[in-house]
Amino acid sequence: MLGHDPQELGFRPDFRAGEPSRLLLPSRIPRQMRPILCDFLSPLGNRVQMRIEDISMPGSVDVATLDLSNGSARPEQNDSNGPHADGPSGSHGHGQSDGNEHGEDGMDDMMAIVGEPSPDGLIMERLRIRYGPFGVPFPGGLLVDASLDGEAVREVRIDALEGPEVVSTERPGSPDPLAPVAWRMAIDMAHDQSVNELDCLARIELERALSHLAWLRSLSRLLGWRRMTRQAGVVLDGLNAIRHEMNAAAVDHESVETLLHGAASSISRLVASLTKGRLLDWRLAGRGVVSAGAAEEAGLGGPNARASGLRKDQRSGCPVYRRIGFEPLLEQGGDAAARTLLRAREASQSIDLARRALLRLTGETGISPGERVAVEGPRGALVAETGRTHWKLEAPGASCARRVAVESMIGESWQDALAILASFDLSPWAEGR
């Protein structure tokens, strides 16, 4: 059984000595990803065994052998539609063919921005760097293609996996593996399904804390900050234990409460060490600054907007959040340091909110508003809308974040540009939705 870390799900190379080369990846592979896969996998030979995991359905794992000899990552006929002998039982048949079909319909969204030549006026050798889709600091599926003038970023293009929005006639599943709980809640509520609001709140807040901390760990890896990476990893292990506990058939609320209490103090220590010695400011302050005005104008949402001082949070208008005393956290700097600190503080706040929600939890369920529901996910608002004949899922502000991130990278050194890009916490699955 494969592990499920919501932030790290996505493409995950797993090359083991003495075994067939494998690549763990979501079952949906858009058409545009195939050349990238070919580039990445070609050193391994023409035939590569791929383990394909459908993130939205834990436990469903297919294995397909891709033939790369003709330059296109197409599955072999025999393997594409069914589980391989290697795969655990219970496969759902979400093989490569599913991905291909999706890929035909899907389009990868891209954004390219060209900046001025090197500010020092020196003529430098132009270097082209492609980063991803398997780069550790970012979730799988994000491809950064940069042209460097010396080490200064001259031109950047970012490709994401998905198209601008999801419109479907059937009830959709969670479209973003990096925020499955928040999406599922939004879809459930839009479907007039009766839900226990406090239970939903606790689960969404736990997901937010997990997402923010997994992101912090990735950012720390990118920055080469081993201590922070380890510390975030320890806290994440604790939160994952809570998630498993909450997903159990019979939830032991007392045990969850104890675990949440422990997690709250770990996160407080993490936030303290993040600010201690001003190392965070020293490394990230003044990088990728987005003023409140610019954030408003660009349409940024979620933590990226709140780090610029904007009170953009779907939770503010939600009665159940108001009942447990929620107030959105804000930072004023608008730079990479502010975005980092805000997410760390929000992770701490989320655990606190989850505890408060669980303490007031009763068995009551209420009828959700239905039709159009907006939930504040880890990266901003997630909107699920249903009409008589269609479903529509949107993540307003997600593509704005990518545009602002790309603009902020131009002219920066590659080292800083990557840190800036990472600080926006982009999800290739939510981009453009």
Partner 1 sequence: MSNWTPFAIVGVALVGAAIASLIEQIVTERRLAPAALVRSGVETLRHPLSRPDVRDAWLFHLAPFLLVMAAFTAVAFVPWTSGFRGIDLSAGLIGFAAALTYVTPAVFMAGWGSGRAEGVLGGFRWLALMLAYAMPIAMVTTAVAAPAGSLRPSDIVEVQHTVPMALVQPLALGLWLPAVLAVCFLPPFDLPQAEGELNGGAFSEYRGFDAALIAFAQKVLLVAASGMTAAMFFGGWNGPVLPPGLWMALKTAVVAAFLLWVGGRVPRFQTDRVLSIAWKLANPLALLAIVVSGLLTLLFYR
Q: Tell me which residues touch partner 1 (CB under 8 A).
A: 17-18, 43, 125, 127-129, 131, 135-137, 148, 151, 220-228, 230, 279, 282-283, 413-416, 418
* Shortest Å distance, C-beta 154 to partner 1: 13
Q: Output 137 or 333, the one with its CB closest to partner 1.
A: 137
In DSSP terms, which residues pair with 113 in a beta bridge? 156
Distance of CA 186 to the CA centre of its chain: 17
State the Cα–Cα distance between residues 173 and 429, nearest whole angstrom: 13
In DSSP terms, which residues pair with 25 in a beta bridge? 52
Q: Output 37 or 185, the one with its CB closest to partner 1.
A: 37
The answer to whether the beta carbons of residues 290 and 297 sit under 8 Å apart is no
* Shortest Å distance, C-beta 279 to partner 1: 6
Provide the 10 A C-beta neighbour count for residue 386. 19
State the Cα–Cα distance between residues 309 and 135, nearest whole angstrom: 30
* Shortest Å distance, C-beta 275 to partner 1: 14
Q: Which helix (H) or strand (E) holds 216?
A: helix 197-223
What is the radius of gyration, based on Cα positions, of the chain? Answer: 22
Cis peptide before 133 (omega within 30 of 0): yes
Q: Output 227 or 244, the one with its CB closest to partner 1.
A: 227
Q: Output 241 or 279, the one with its CB closest to partner 1.
A: 279
**Structure tokens that stand for 412 in this block:** 């920066």
In DSSP terms, which residues pair with 430 in a beta bridge? none
Q: Output 281 or 296, the one with its CB closest to partner 1.
A: 281
Q: Output 99 or 428, the one with its CB closest to partner 1.
A: 428
* Shortest Å distance, C-beta 94 to partner 1: 30
* Shortest Å distance, C-beta 231 to partner 1: 11
Q: Output 17 or 85, the one with its CB closest to partner 1.
A: 17
DSSP states of 313-381 as a string? -GGGG-HHHHHTT------S--SHHHHHHHHHHHHHHHHHHHHHHHHT--S--EE---SEEEEEETTEE
* Shortest Å distance, C-beta 69 to partner 1: 18
Provide the 10 A C-beta neighbour count for residue 422. 25
Q: Output 231 or 399, the one with its CB closest to partner 1.
A: 231
* Shortest Å distance, C-beta 401 to partner 1: 21
Provide the 10 A C-beta neighbour count for residue 259. 21
* Shortest Å distance, C-beta 419 to partner 1: 9
